[in-house]
Amino acid sequence: MGMGELRHVDEYRRQSGAAQLRLRLADICDPARTYRVMEICGGHTHTIYRHGLSDHLPDNVRFVHGPGCPVCVLPKGRIDDAMALALDEDVTLCAYGDVLRVPGSEGSMLDARARGADIRMVYSPLDALRLAREHPELEVVFLAIGFETTAPATAATVLDAERDAISNFSVICNHVLVVPPMQALLNSPDVAIDGLIGPGHVSAIIGCTPYLPLVEQFGLPLVVAGFEPLDLLAALVMVVEQLNDARHEVENQYSRVVPWEPNPVARALFDDVFAIRETFEWRGLGPIPRSGFRISDRLADFDAERRYGVVGRVVPDPRACRCGDVLRGAIEPTDCRIFGTACTPEHPVGSCMVSSEGACAAYFQFGRGLAGQP
Ligand code: SF4
């Protein structure tokens, strides 16, 4: 490694390494077949478009974007539920910055804040707990979102609140699990995928073993990958090699971070703080059985849904919005007719245009599909 290089970053961005992997890919790809490889994670989608990886693949190899952006999959009804709490109940709602911009039925949470709701941006659930601790006169509700990656922080915060008997703190839990939507997608007749690139961050928590039944059931290869461009190209090579060999295995390209087995500390937190919901509504994918966490019965006092009788609205997306199809990998963002016109990052109509991990936002940010751009 050269002077001034960042370990585990620069070494996975070198052009020479990328050139070698592209040559390897061109060498092993069978021109008589196609390779459609879904990257589940929105972080991977961002890397693919930030570094223009799709532009340098053989013609018969294609990334298909999946549903792994936590902001994108949060359904409109859950946004409306949270906004109703902030507007109708006397609560202080705390949420991550991206979530504040996701459109609900009547605008975003930023709009609700302009109408007088007490909605605050936080960087972690601990910020919300600190607010509750320092202001006992407020009823603080944390809007928790994310896959298994961010769920441990929420769980640990709820346990802190329990330990210190912080009674003015609760959580609307929207944490979701990554394997059930993958299963739902693979069961979908209009989604054609040959292989999968597994999410790096989630897998750092759940390990690789939860993917084994999926790979067995659908006969597809899955390679867990890191987030640098060379990570993704290397994972793609591994998927193509498996397909050529008619293998379907779980492989771990990101072993510098991801263990094979689940993280036992995170698993213990999940078991203590959460219970699996019978079903959870996903934007674009509809209700998926056993795909989301709720707060466990033992910790019901910290469950904002029970405390405030949250109704669980189900709200359809606007007719012009194709986020559901984008999230299922059925269309490219540019196939949505309002992409880049009525729907932009400044004025998002759909959730995939909000977070930098959303496929539409990544396309837009890196100039794809816009007039005059490649
Ligand atoms: Fe959804 Fe906007 Fe993307 Fe269309 S362009 S799919 S409305 S985010």
pLDDT at 304 exceeding the cut of 60: yes
pLDDT at 372 exceeding the cut of 60: no
CA of 333 to the centre of ligand 1 (A): 7
Residue 284: how many other CB atoms lie within 10 Å: 22
CA of 288 to the centre of ligand 1 (A): 22
Among 151, 124, 160, 146, CA closest to 266: 151
Q: What is the pLDDT of residue 285?
A: 86
* pLDDT class of 11 with cuts at 50, 70, 90: low
The pLDDT tens digits of the residues spanning 203-245 come to 999 999 999 999 999 999 999 999 999 999 999 999 999 999 9
Q: For ligand 1, which residues put their CB under 6 angstroms from it?
A: 321-323, 326, 333, 336, 338-339, 343, 349-350, 352-353, 360
The pLDDT tens digits of the residues spanning 127-150 come to 999 999 999 999 999 999 999 999
Judged on CB neighbours under 10 Å (0-12, 13-18, 19+), 256 is exposed
pLDDT at 115 exceeding the cut of 70: yes
Residue range 269-284: mean pLDDT, rounded? 95
The percentage of residues in the chain with a pLDDT greater than 90, rounded to a whole number, is: 74
What 3 state SS string does 291-327 have? CEEEECHHHHHHEHHHHHCCCCCCCCCCCCCCHHHHH
* pLDDT class of 374 with cuts at 50, 70, 90: very low
Give the position, in ligand 1's atom list, of the atom nearest the Cα of 339: 5
Residue range 282-296: mean pLDDT, rounded? 94
Lowest pLDDT segment from 249-253, 283-287, 304-308: 283-287
Sign, Cα dihedral of 191, 55, 355, 208: positive
- Tell me the angle at which helices 151-163 and 264-273 cross, rounded to the nearest 10 degrees: 60
In the numeric block, which tokens belong to residue 370? 């816009």
Give the position, in ligand 1's atom list, of the atom nearest the Cα of 353: 8
Q: Which residues pair with 172 in a beta bridge?
A: 143
The CATH H-level superfamily of 10-365 is HypD, alpha/beta domain 2 (3.40.50.11740)
Q: Which residue has the tokens 């019978």?
A: 278
Where does the chain show beta strands of DSSP type E?
35-41, 61-68, 92-95, 119-121, 140-146, 169-175, 195-198, 222-224, 250-252, 274-276, 279-282, 286-289, 293-295
For the chain, how long is the longest CA-to-CA vector? 68
| pTM metric for this prediction | 0.89
Q: Which residue has the tokens 């977070």?
A: 355
Taking CA atoms, 64 is separated from 104, 196, 200, 328, 329, in Å, by: 27, 9, 17, 9, 6
Task: Provide DSSP, 22-44.
Answer: HHHHHHH--TTS-EEEEEEEHHH
Q: Where are the domains of the chain?
A: 10-365
Judged on CB neighbours under 10 Å (0-12, 13-18, 19+), 24 is middle
pLDDT at 373 exceeding the cut of 50: no
Give the position, in ligand 1's atom list, of the atom nearest the Cα of 358: 8
Q: What is the pLDDT of residue 311?
A: 82
Q: What is the pLDDT of residue 132?
A: 98
The closest residue, in CA terms, to atom 3 on ligand 1 is: 360
CA of 328 to the centre of ligand 1 (A): 13
Count how many Cα atoms sit within 13 Å of the Cα of residue 296 in the half-sphere of its side chain: 15
Q: What is the pLDDT of residue 3?
A: 53
Give the position, in ligand 1's atom list, of the atom nearest the Cα of 336: 4
56 or 229, greater pLDDT: 229
Q: Which residue has the tokens 């994972």?
A: 235
pLDDT at 195 exceeding the cut of 90: yes
Q: CA 28, CA 324: separation in Å to the nearest integer? A: 34
